[in-house]
């Protein structure tokens, strides 16, 4: 799948910890979420070793391939290569974007976490396919975030990215759920650039019924209630 064809409306970031997934199977949760409308999946796992990550990645790859949904690996270019998936998502402390692009090639999908305008412009200039903008709201899922930027911070980044002429795709992340997703999209939109979607962990991975949760969230993303 070409990077420009990805549907970022509802972007699932996985979490295999018992607090989120319970004793359920990650591949089951991902498949249910895709059935509910998730259009992009990122394997994010900070605890498994490399061999386990590759094994989980291959299991998820079997699912995502069947549905034509791209699979990206958080942090680990080597795991993405081993799994043979579409790409990676890298943070500011991970491998340089240019190095990741060199290793993965021009067709890979590479997303970058950004919290500031400077980081966003740098990622765009370096050829990122999409930006993961955040952290929007504080969240128990990622407690070490120092950059809580709110919807005003997201809007400011979108504004400056558009002003610089970049057509990069964008999602935001952090504390987004059914009760705030429509407001997040509305408040984040700059006059000349809106988000392509939202990335979520717990609102889908911790839901008793991930398919139903994804379905409801997608509806809210596609048809947000009117504000103002
Ligand atoms: N990056 C910034 S916040 C976050 C990541 C990976 C976790 C978001 O988790 P949730 O459960 O959607 O708030
Ligand atoms: Mg990282």
Whether 176 lines ligand 1, by a CB cut-off of 6 Å, is yes
The pLDDT value recorded for residue 124 is 98
Q: How confident is the model at residue 174 (pLDDT cuts 50, 70, 90)?
A: very high
Provide the ipTM. 0.98
pTM, entire model: 0.97
Task: Tell me: pLDDT of 173 over 70.
Answer: yes
pLDDT tens for 149-166 read 999 999 999 999 999 999
Computed over every residue of the chain, the mean pLDDT equals 96
Q: How far is the CA of 140 from the centre of ligand 1 (A)?
A: 8
Quickly state the pLDDT bin for 175 (edges 50, 70, 90): very high
Cβ of residue 184 lying under 6 Å from some atom of ligand 1 = no
How many Cβ atoms from other residues are within 10 Å of residue 210's Cβ? Answer: 25
Nearest to 197 by CA among 6, 11, 5: 11
Which residues, at least 6 apart from 137, have a Cβ–Cβ distance to it below 8 Å?
Answer: 148, 150, 174, 175, 176, 180
- Cα–ligand 2 centroid distance for 224 (angstroms): 30
pLDDT value for 224: 75
Residue 176 reports pLDDT greater than 90? yes
Q: How many CB atoms lie within 10 A of CB 204?
A: 28
pLDDT of 207-219, one tens digit each? 999 999 999 999 9
The residue with greater pLDDT, 223 or 160, is 160
- Quick one: pLDDT at residue 223? 85
pLDDT digits (tens, 9 = 90+) for 95-105: 999 999 999 99
User: What confidence category does residue 228 fall into, taking pLDDT thresholds of 50, 70 and 90?
Assistant: low
């Amino acid at each position: 799948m070409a990077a420009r064809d990805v549907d970022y409306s509802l972007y699932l970031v996985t979490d295999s910890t018992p607090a989120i997934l319970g004793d359920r199977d990650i591949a089951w949760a991902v498949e249910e979420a895709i059935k509910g409308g998730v259009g992009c999946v990122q394997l994010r796992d900070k605890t498994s070793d490399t061999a386990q990550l590759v094994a989980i990645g291959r299991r998820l790859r079997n699912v995502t391939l069947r549905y034509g949904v791209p699979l990206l690996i958080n942090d680990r270019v080597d795991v993405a290569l081993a799994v043979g998936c579409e790409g990676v998502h890298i943070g500011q402390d991970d491998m340089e974007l240019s190095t990741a692009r060199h290793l993965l090639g021009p067709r890979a999908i590479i997303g970058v976490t950004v919290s500031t305008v400077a980081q966003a412009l740098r990622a765009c200039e370096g050829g990122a396919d999409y930006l993961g903008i955040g952290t929007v709201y504080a969240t128990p899922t990622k407690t070490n975030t120092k950059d809580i930027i709110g919807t005003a911070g997201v809007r400011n980044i979108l504004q400056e990215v558009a002003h610089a002429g970049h057509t990069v795709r964008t999602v935001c992340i952090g504390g987004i759920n059914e009760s705030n997703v429509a407001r997040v999209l509305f408040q984040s939109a700059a006059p000349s650039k809106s988000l392509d979607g939202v990335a979520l962990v717990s609102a889908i991975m911790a839901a008793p019924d991930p398919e139903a949760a994804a379905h409801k969230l997608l509806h809210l993303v596609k048809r947000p209630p009117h504000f103002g």
